Amino acid sequence: MLSALRQASRRGFATNASVQGFNGAVGNTPLIYLKGLSEKTGSHIYGKAEFQNPGGSVKDRAALGLVRDAEEQGLIKPGGTVVEGTAGNTGIGLAHVCRAKGYKCVIYMPDTQSQEKIDLLRMLGADVRPVPAVAFENPKNYNHQAKEYAEGLENAIWTNQFDNTANANAHYVTTGPEIWEQTQGRLDGFICATGTGGTLAGVGKYLKEKSGGKTQIWLADPPGSVLTSYVSSGGKLVERSGSSITEGIGQGRITDNLATFINDISGAFTVPDTKSIAMLYDLLDTEGIYLGASSALNVVAAVELAQILGKGSTVVTILCDGAYRYQSRLFSKKWLQSKNLEEAIPPHLKKYATL
């Protein structure tokens, strides 16, 4: 029987062999040993380098998985249009996939997202439609607008990353098996924040099954997300309040992707932005890696989980994307001051805030 990794490669995800085009280069990312933090905590902390995907983020896997699933179901034909609501990274992944496959790409996104992501989407040929950032319950929310637009078009799909479980499945058949093979199955914990929940649900399900339940799967939340309180209270959904500078993560509801796994989550906690920003600068200084804020949050969470699981434990998290698409914010003193976060950067690391 083919291993899951080989099955994945047959579906167009990357292997170590040479690859064809953008789609063949998605996946098979390195697992980086975070040496400084591992030594400091007496544990083994790894980050899966998803920023090395060809479109620059973990969402390339979901984008490719969602489009391939629609093709397999005959929902889109050559020359068709892919429509999605996204904070940006899924849109960037989709825009690449669409270019490679010859589809048109229409992206609805909340107008709170970084200019870099909008610029990149336009450079990739996507038709970008920024809309006011309103809650999911509001019919003008970017997701509903994407759905409505796709429904009115011939030969078009709304990929629906939040509630289409082809998203989590892309991680179940690629990210999960890769992490298992890269750690030779020796991992005590996996933790990450969620937006759609695709990464956590897909990776979590695979690792839990493969380890016979031994690997604990935890969820990390930014402020303003309701998932920590949902998990900790045994399933009570509270109203969303508060906010975070992290883009692409945090959620006010249980998406269908997350619903496939939420009952198997061992625990959850919230990471304040002050800790994420300090970690972002520290990782640049000590490990030489230049990450977005959700990755930094994930690493803070991995350190905390390693402390919970005890000395010598092995914990893996996701390095979702690089800082390039946020640098006008995360490396701008003025922007950080406007968010009351400049003081979160340790004094000896302030030299990196150069914009």
- State the residues that interact with ligand PMP by CB under 6 A: 57-59, 87, 89, 194-199, 247-249, 292, 294, 320-321
Residue 142 CB, nearest distance to ligand PMP (Å)? 12
Catalytic residue status for 205: no
Nearer to ligand PMP by Cβ, of 108 and 313: the residue is 108
Cα 211 to Cα 176: distance, rounded to the nearest angstrom = 11
Residue 295 CB, nearest distance to ligand PMP (Å)? 7
Nearer to ligand PMP by Cβ, of 165 and 313: the residue is 165
Nearer to ligand PMP by Cβ, of 57 and 215: the residue is 57
Residue 293 CB, nearest distance to ligand PMP (Å)? 8
Nearer to ligand PMP by Cβ, of 195 and 223: the residue is 195
Residue 74 CB, nearest distance to ligand PMP (Å)? 26
Nearer to ligand PMP by Cβ, of 163 and 342: the residue is 163
Nearer to ligand PMP by Cβ, of 169 and 216: the residue is 169
Residue 115 CB, nearest distance to ligand PMP (Å)? 15
* CA-to-CA dists, residue 267 to 8, 84, 194, 328, angstroms: 29, 31, 14, 34
Name, in order, each residue with C-beta under 8 angstroms of 316's C-beta and a sequence gap of 6 or more.
31, 46, 47, 48, 179, 183, 187, 189, 190, 302
- Report which residue's Cβ sits closest to ligand PMP: 248
> Which among 48, 59, 205, 275 is annotated as catalytic?
59
Residue 58 CB, nearest distance to ligand PMP (Å)? 6
Which of the residues are catalytic? 59
